[in-house]
Structure 1
Amino acid sequence: MDARAIREQFPILNQEVNGHPLVYLDSAATSQKPIAVMEALDNYYKQNNSNVHRGVHTLGTRATDQYEGARDKVKQFIHASSTEEVIFTRGTTTSINMIGYGYARHFLQEGDEIVLTQMEHHSNIIPWQQAAKYTGAKLKYIPMEEDGTLSLDAVRSTITEATKIVAIAHVSNVLGTINPVKEIAEIAHQNGAIIVVDGAQGVPHMKVDVQELDCDFYAFSGHKMCGPTGVGVLYGKKALLEKMEPVEFGGEMIDFVDLYDSTWKELPWKFEGGTPIIAGAIGLGAAIDFLQEVGLDNIEKQEQEIVQYAQSKLSEVEGITIYGPVNRGGLITFNIEGVHPHDTATVLDAEGIAVRAGHHCAQPLMKWLDVTATARASFYLYNTTDDVDRLVEGIQRAKEYFGDVF
């Protein structure tokens, strides 16, 4: 895989920021978009713009075919058993909230357990807090190992017969921890629980087979996988989606409406009330085509080479603390001794290097790490080891600058 050639498909990367060539290391927050995705959106709006599932005219038929074609691409991409199991949403947050409202609030009761981890993104904590408050269920957390991983022994000792939902990130957005989802799913199912997987940092970077993982729900966002913002996916096993209640009501999700009662349309449209995210879904379909053309195996291999190179180079820098396990997804979270991560990010930005700084929507994890914030460099298919070298040079400059200040 030639990352330098791939970069040419991302026009935004061919610019200078603050007088320096842009080094974009914030793909865990949002990835950049290739020409193919932008052209797909442009084509839809210029040639086929129409609402779907409604009109019988030509534009409506084209738009519907593209929209439902994108659903089929998602189905194949994550190896769902049917397009009925693929729900288009606004993103991972919306998908998890849909489960919290449409499933958890209807099937949990007082004394039931919801099991999480402290590495979860706020989007995979707050909906379960709210569900617990509403139903009287109890939250429990699987204890983490010192390096930020999970042991299966800890999983087994935390999940009990009272556990009804296990919600876990496939890949931590802070530590890069790749969790053993398949094994955790097996333990959950042995105890009669379902498992909800936050796949926001998983699907863009590795092959995902939801049937092999045997997860009950899997949520992810388009904008982190070269697709547009404002579109994502909720995968759910058909039997669970049929039991689950819709959370948005209105046009297009109905079967029949009377003055005093209504019935719902079949899956997947039961959960897609109103005008759906047509352009976003089409753009996501184009992103899937692009990623499959490059190859997920190639992307994962490239990222692993870069992240291992980054760990090696950063570990040589005095005063750097790296958080998370050695074996990780394509990101490095770190702090420079004596320098606030916001200051680190500001100095790096002056050098044209974009990283994330803050609590990364993971305040419980920050508390576990005993820090208020961290800096994070996250990599994707368009990054190279040259970008890592620029990062290391920028960190050295930050150290020198704040060493002089203090």
Structure 2
Amino acid sequence: MNRYAKDFPILNQEVNGNPLVYLDSSATSQKPFQVIEAVERYYQEYNSNVHRGVHTLGTKATDGYEGAREKVRRFINAKSVKEIIYTRGTTSALNLIASSYARTNLKEGDEIVLSPSEHHSNLIPWQQVARVTGAVLKYFPLEPDGTLDLKKAEETITDRTKLVAIAHVSNVLGTIFPIKELAQMVHQHGGVLVVDGAQSVPHMKVDVQELDCDFLTLSGHKMMGPTGIGALYGKESLLEAMEPIEFGGEMIDHVDLFESTWKELPWKFEGGTPNIAGAIGLGAAIDYLESVGMDHVDAHDRQLARYALEEMKKVEGLTVYGPVSDRTGLVTFNIDDVHPHDVATVLDAEGIAVRAGHHCCQPLMRWLNVSATARASFYLYNDESDIDRLVKGLQKTKEYFSNVFG
């Protein structure tokens, strides 16, 4: 067990009589003691609503909630906390952009450009925008290894392209897409760039000012924080011009019988009682990641991916998808003649947790010409011994099905 694993209490258990090897962090990450305790302290010591009261508990809760917002701002290097909107996660953040910005600013014949590798959360909202506004969906062509050729990308973006939405990192292929270069192309044509940062922000240093993206989304549960909390980053000028999509308490300035006005950023987008404990837990997760250092997290995850790619070559009949280099800490694969659900079931019997299915990327599965895949994804609490267990489990899976159906 590596030096960080001890901070994650869930890892200290057996599953089906074997020590747990958790290789499903791309779906959701495990939480360190520091995050769990921060959430417990809120509920045990200063549980109260935020912004609404002047009593001591309310003040402490507000300080924790808004302090976490500042941590998010610093973590991704936004210019101002006005540019950080709390959401339930990446899905709700992308839907906010689609409903508030895109439906208002796009019209018939405008182009929305995506990649075929997008998670459904960064595909379906744009399908709905296109349906309502008459905008047209277009797709970047991917190279055979799942990477993006910038020359072909430049040919895809035109003066009619008003919005490009793309994941920073593919949750299936591990591909790291060239966001900074795409931002330059999009802005030359007067469009905006929306970045799904669900798989990048937890694993590498992300600087929204350096990337020059217009919007970026993140999910707390993928970066060692609680579920049900995330954030939308948006350039202040864009957010100022957007209208809220949820109305009620907390987001209002003045209410009359026939009209109302909204609070300033970021609160005009945060109607109702927010996920206060989640925000505080997200702040604690950022503290933890910063104590380790994102450069270290990035290097660790990439090294595990390289090691896994090399070791998994030992498994006969195994196909790996995505680039062979410059990829983040996940490996998606199939074994000849064995359904990925069967692979995951055998591995689970060995105490190894991987993901199997279409990974909310059905168009990408069709692009790969498969119905589903298995995926092992790594994080700070994994090490090479976990990969060794995975490879041994895959070899056992292959042998089992060869004996049964061979």
Smaller-chain TM-score bracket: over 0.9
2:269 to 268, 271, 274: 271
Report what 1:345 is aligned to. 344
1:49 to 28, 47, 55: 47
d(CA) in 2 for partners of 1:4 and 1:320? Answer: 28
Q: Say which SS state the counterpart of residue 27 (structure 2) adopts.
A: coil
Report what 2:98 is aligned to. 100
Deviations 1:230-262 (A, max 9, x none): 000000000000111111000010111111111
Q: Say which SS state the counterpart of residue 305 (structure 1) adopts.
A: helix
d(CA) in 2 for partners of 1:305 and 1:142? Answer: 29
Q: Say which SS state the counterpart of residue 322 (structure 1) adopts.
A: strand
After superposition, where does 1:136-285 map in structure 2 within 5 Å? Answer: 136-285=134-283
Offset of residue 405 of structure 1:
1.3
Deviations 1:97-153 (A, max 9, x none): 000000000110000000000010000000000000010000000000010000101
Structure 1 stretches of 5 or more lacking a match? none
1:26 to 24, 27, 33: 24
d(CA) in 2 for partners of 1:181 and 1:208? Answer: 11
d(CA) in 1 for partners of 2:255 and 2:393? Answer: 61
Q: Say which SS state the counterpart of residue 8 (structure 1) adopts.
A: helix
Report what 2:8 is aligned to. 10
Match for 1:156: what amino acid?
A: E
User: Is 1:303–2:339 an aligned residue pair?
Assistant: no
Report what 1:117 is aligned to. 115
Offset of residue 26 of structure 1:
0.1
Moved over 4 A (4+): none
d(CA) in 2 for partners of 1:243 and 1:235? Answer: 14
d(CA) in 1 for partners of 2:91 and 2:14? Answer: 33
Report what 2:381 is aligned to. 382
2:317 to 319, 336, 357: 319
Match for 1:298: what amino acid?
A: H
Offset of residue 191 of structure 1:
0.6
Structure 2 stretches of 5 or more lacking a match? none
Match for 1:158: what amino acid?
A: T
Deviations 1:147-172 (A, max 9, x none): 00001011101110000000000000
d(CA) in 1 for partners of 2:21 and 2:253? Answer: 50
Match for 2:385: what amino acid?
A: D
d(CA) in 2 for partners of 1:149 and 1:21? Answer: 36
d(CA) in 1 for partners of 2:133 and 2:320? Answer: 39
Report what 1:86 is aligned to. 84
Match for 1:309: what amino acid?
A: Y
d(CA) in 1 for partners of 2:347 and 2:241? Answer: 49
Q: Say which SS state the counterpart of residue 132 (structure 1) adopts.
A: helix
d(CA) in 1 for partners of 2:60 and 2:315? Answer: 55
Deviations 1:29-58 (A, max 9, x none): 000000000000010001110000001100
d(CA) in 2 for partners of 1:255 and 1:324? Answer: 49
d(CA) in 2 for partners of 1:303 and 1:99? Answer: 30
d(CA) in 2 for partners of 1:256 and 1:114? Answer: 36
Amino-acid identity (%): 69
Match for 1:112: what amino acid?
A: D
After superposition, where does 1:69-80 map in structure 2 within 5 Å? Answer: 69-80=67-78
d(CA) in 2 for partners of 1:212 and 1:5? Answer: 32
d(CA) in 2 for partners of 1:355 and 1:142? Answer: 29
Report what 1:330 is aligned to. 329
Q: Say which SS state the counterpart of residue 224 (structure 1) adopts.
A: helix
User: Is 1:393–2:392 an aligned residue pair?
Assistant: yes
Instruction: Compare 80-89 and 299-308 and name the one that shifted more.
Output: 299-308
Report what 2:364 is aligned to. 365
TM-score, normalised with respect to structure 1: 0.99
Match for 1:339: what amino acid?
A: V
Q: Say which SS state the counterpart of residue 33 (structure 1) adopts.
A: coil
Deviations 1:165-222 (A, max 9, x none): 0000000000000000000010000011000000000000000000000000000100
d(CA) in 1 for partners of 2:124 and 2:99? Answer: 12
Offset of residue 316 of structure 1:
2.6
d(CA) in 1 for partners of 2:198 and 2:367? Answer: 22
d(CA) in 2 for partners of 1:287 and 1:31? Answer: 11
d(CA) in 1 for partners of 2:146 and 2:313? Answer: 18
Instruction: Compare 234-243 and 251-260 and name the one that shifted more.
Output: 251-260
Q: CA RMSD in A?
A: 0.6
